[in-house]
A and B are shown apart, each in its own frame.
Chain A
Amino acid sequence: MSGISRRDLIRTGAVGAALLSGNAFASPLDGPRQLPAHLDKGIFAAAVKELRAVVGNEWVFADPETTLPYTKSFTPDPRHEHVPSGAVAPASVEEVQAVLKIANTYKLPLWTVSTGKNMGYGCATPASSGQMILDLKRMNRIIHIDAELGTALVEPGVTYQDLHDYLTENNLPYWIDVPTVGPIVSPVGNTLERGVGYTPYGDHFFMQCGMEVVLADGTIVRTGMGGVKDSTTWQAFKWGYGPYIDGIFTQSNFGVVTKLGFWLMPKPPAFKPFMVRHNEMGDVAKIVDAMRPFRMNNLIPNVVLMMGAAYQIAMFHRREELWDKPESIPDDVVRDFAKKHGLGMWNTYFALYGTDEIIAAVEPIVRRAFEASGGEVLTEKEMGGNLWFEHHKNLMSGQMTLEEKGIMRWRGGGMTCFAPVAPAKGIETQQQTELAKEILGRYGFDYSVAYAIGGRELHHLIFIQYDKENPVEEKKADDCIREMITRFGNRGWAAYRTGVATMDLVARQYGDSHREINARLKQALDPNHILSPGKQGIA
């Protein structure tokens, strides 16, 4: 059975072990339950019993076998610090309120997930072992789509696939904006993480409008215009009245978001994807300086991806096809392999949207600039059928794909993302690239990156691919990302988002005032600290 090893079969669980052989396997769930430090088994069992009474027996998971799917993570966890104690899956806002009441009574920490597929940052695993996962996947209704205003209001369990299907089945002329792995992830989850996609609506939190939040004490809040009786503008106008509070519920643990509104892009009459190919790693500065004015003046309206070749190669190929040694792959080797597949060392994907006339007017302007930067400007004419061109064409038009998952195969199923922000200035981007390559090189990891270009900044998405099956490699990956965070931080470059293992580390870089204000808000909104303790370093 190709692609399926005996090691996999043994590893996959008690059921598997029983089926195949008598061998037990090592897992943190084999032993005593991973309970929060302050809860003993008896109290945990009592809490579980009450939770079952609310959601039904079958929707509370509190044993190794049924908790197994929640423990899956691609990110390093060498000290087993991110193992959940179980999971509870409510079906409604009322059930969420009842669950929170029990959690407050027992001081049971709950780690909330929407679809729990935050794959570069820890999946559904909690910031500290012993938290019970509050799995909102069962709340999966598309509540309302306004066909005139182009707005959507959804529950956390809705996926981009669900939304895509709904728009298609109902013939609604709108596009969605997807992160790279749309089909299995949630607009609610991704937007609350302030993730991005690659159409003009790529800044997901920017395009969010109104939310409903259940606070730790069960109070329901509708932000923005949603507080007004009989409002018809909850998804039309972001800001509402008075202090704008939507932001405090993103990348935080101040409340459980149960509904999220956002805007949908009207399907454009015409759409033309482009790829700009550069042959040298060192071209990164020129590309950024050429791109910046177009993102600022919006002639290029979408969130652009400047892809490093090694990352792209990993999507569809195995490392052994170009390099079989443990140390980092030399640039020359990457370049040669990339060239064979129509790729440069940097491949920058952008698109023009509008009418044919508008696109025809803009195209020569952008072409000139990128050709002057030393790049080849390519379109469907030259690159149609190329796997990567098709992939990015799909992303830039909000289509469904999971091709990006391929990068996880590179060294053995492990991947963790370090995502520092750079200003859209060539020289600093180049410096970040050089620093990243230096650090990765010392650990024998490859420089596998995508720069997502917003208005005046870039998210430098650095994917550390490692062998998760090998404890030595897992420790290396953990050490590597910590060193990256620390040394980038020393240069004033901090991450926009991070995984469960490094939340405190990154939080410290944002200074004492941030931590202080977050701590005060937390104390006010969740005095028992039951909601996702540790998220973004907030206890």
Chain B
Amino acid sequence: MSSTTPKRLRCRLATFALGLCLMPAASASAGVASTPRAPAVIYAKTCGYCHGQHVAPVIRGRNLPPEIIAQYVRSGPRAMPAFRPTEISDAELKALAQWVSTSKADPKEHEQ
């Protein structure tokens, strides 16, 4: 994730008391106004920890329908947690589901 801290937020922060030193914009983590993350990045930082690490089913390379993937993410069936629009936006989820659906299998991933 990366983006500049929006000016409005920077001004608000400046009015807070005291000794808060803002991180340089380039390295500050994204606040609410962040640009959508790429599917591969989201997968690496969330999905891939379970799917493909002996924990959950391998989902890449299976042509799973994108609508089903998106549904799973929002509802969290059985052992899977649910992910909310505040964690992954509808737009990001749509792109992620498409990416997973059309991706080739990753030979480094392990079935559960």
Contacts and interface: CB of A to CB of B under 8 A. Distances in A.
Contacts of A468: 78
Contacts of A231: 17-19
5 contacts: A2-B57, A135-B86, A142-B23, A144-B23, A315-B55
B85 interface: yes
Contacts of B105: none
A3 B77 CA distance: 11
Contacts of B1: 162, 165
A116 B84 contact: yes
5 interchain residue pairs of minimum CB distance: A413-B78, A3-B57, A72-B82, A402-B49, A408-B79
Nearest to B45: A161
Contacts, number: 179
Interface residues of B, number: 48
Interface of A: 1-4, 8-9, 11-13, 15-16, 19, 58-59, 61, 66, 68-72, 74, 87, 89, 91-94, 115-117, 119, 123-124, 135, 137-145, 153, 157-158, 161-162, 165-166, 169-170, 183-184, 222, 226, 228-232, 234, 315-316, 318, 387, 400-403, 405-406, 408-409, 412-413, 468-469
Given A3-B112, A15-B71, A141 B50 contact: no
Main SS class of interface, B: loop
Contacts of B87: 115, 137, 184
Interface of B: 1, 5, 9, 12-13, 17-23, 27-32, 45-46, 49-50, 53-57, 62, 64, 67-68, 71-72, 74-87, 112
B32 to A, nearest CB: 4
A535 B92 CA distance: 33
Contacts of B23: 142-145
A143 B76 contact: no
Contacts of A139: 31-32
B75 A123 contact: no
Given A8-B77, A13-B71, A15-B71, A141 B17 contact: no
A58 B84 CA distance: 12
A415 to B, nearest CB: 8
B27 to A, nearest CB: 6
Contacts of B49: 183, 400-403, 405
